[in-house]
Structure 1
């Protein structure tokens, strides 16, 4: 009888242990708890059998009766052991489903995954077509935004006014290569913007500005049709006259047949070079842009000297603040402008003061044969013309040493040559011309000679008149 009683007690105890985990519920108290206990049977010695990796701990199903079947599961929550079971603990995850599709996973390490059983990060969103995280204001009328993992592993930031999917506009993209694009879905560089850019803080690295309107962008190292500003090693650029290891480099490449230019900002000034072939060969040497202090240190006061250290410079202009020289570094201080070379004026030339010319002057002609100082093509008009000759004026005719030709000699010369002695013949005037001074001298000489002939003739007339008077007197006495 005692054995039967003990057996019945053991059976009731086993039944109580089997039923208790399934029916134990706490619905009241400070912390109401609903427990789900999983084990592998009961043993009088070892009590409950321990769970193992892969066991389902619990499966909560939310079900309802439908027409074509007794029950339909609308959603469920499941948890199972995901790792080794120790004496005191084991890892487990939790999966949330709606219908027959997994929607959310919480792994034993705390990673949360949407649409994935194995989230690799703290929060992972997975979808074969539209892996999107959306930020939507429920009141409407506001901008909506999405994070979208597009084809090729590119991450897009897009938004729009209550739009969705393709209706949104892409604002920024981060490619799988790590490039960031703003205003473009296919950035070619680490940061590629299409549109205006404003930076109010510090900027580090190379600034590359390309002419996007001219077509596809050139590579970041071509220096063609673009502008750069960057920090460069002076030795790398071979700026031998510069001081300091580093300097700012400004590169301007207008493109086409235009020359490319570079400015290097060293500690001791700005250096320039250009590329005449527009191919970034940079075959020209670096030349320093001179400052007034540089010019003073070089011993020149030319404010306009550029590129070279001599007194004049490649500009061929000299300006010391008082006198300007063209093609001369020592302009005459008596003048405001000193030109060492030929000068051509395409417009009018007005001279208010005096004009001085050391060489020949031409008006309306380029003919400069001979030793003349003024060459004029065409007529000239003047209210008064004053001629002052450096050679002797014909007053020498009145000197005692002057040999006045006899009229018979003059007559003979005229007969042989067809012009007066000492006068330029007509044929020579037609071919060579005649200076006004020379003409005046010749005419003055002939006038003075003519007076001498008249005086001599007058003496002969007076002598004849005296002789005639004496003859008349003698003839009258004989009557």
Structure 2
């Protein structure tokens, strides 16, 4: 009898303790709430939820369409705030763009985007969800695009659609021979102007410079193009100095001839 009474007291105490900690039905399906902080693991922080260890957000089931079952974090407001409408959120979410939820995805990864609660995320990813994309396949980063996992992106880490506005860009030069000052070395062979004229007439562009068609098809590497343009400027400087030397020599001959004419009179 004493054991039964003790068990009854423990059950009452546990229910009383649970009711003090959480509000809501005592079952496994209905939501419960808590006004105080929640500490998970060996931690005691000042936030409402404090986790002392790893926090994992994962699919509830395997082979699901990307969408409501995909793990996500919301940041935003439930009510109207300033110029933001009700239920205005910014979302961090892992998404696949599988067409059937079973085949390997071409662009799986972590997306950061304004929330579109009414839109279906199954199938292809909408443009609005491509503000920031971190590829699960290779760790590359896309801003405004997730089309970064193809062979044309090999050798690159960051992809930005629609342009970049910044105050400063610094490009590292790996070695001294990567710059174009070798043009000023004494053993550098400058193309004769006559041959350069023939090349331009035949090809329609400067030597080594890509054609319009090549630039459109392949784009241009800014570092390589800047080095190439510097090389052409330095070659132009040599041509100018060469022409000035010829002019000075011609002027000297003219002065000499004029002196001979004047002395012979």
The structure whose residues are more often strand, as a share, is 1
TM class, shorter-length: 0.3 to 0.5
The structure whose residues are more often helix, as a share, is 2
Bigger Rg, structure 1 or 2: 1
**TM-score (structure 1 length as normaliser):** 0.27
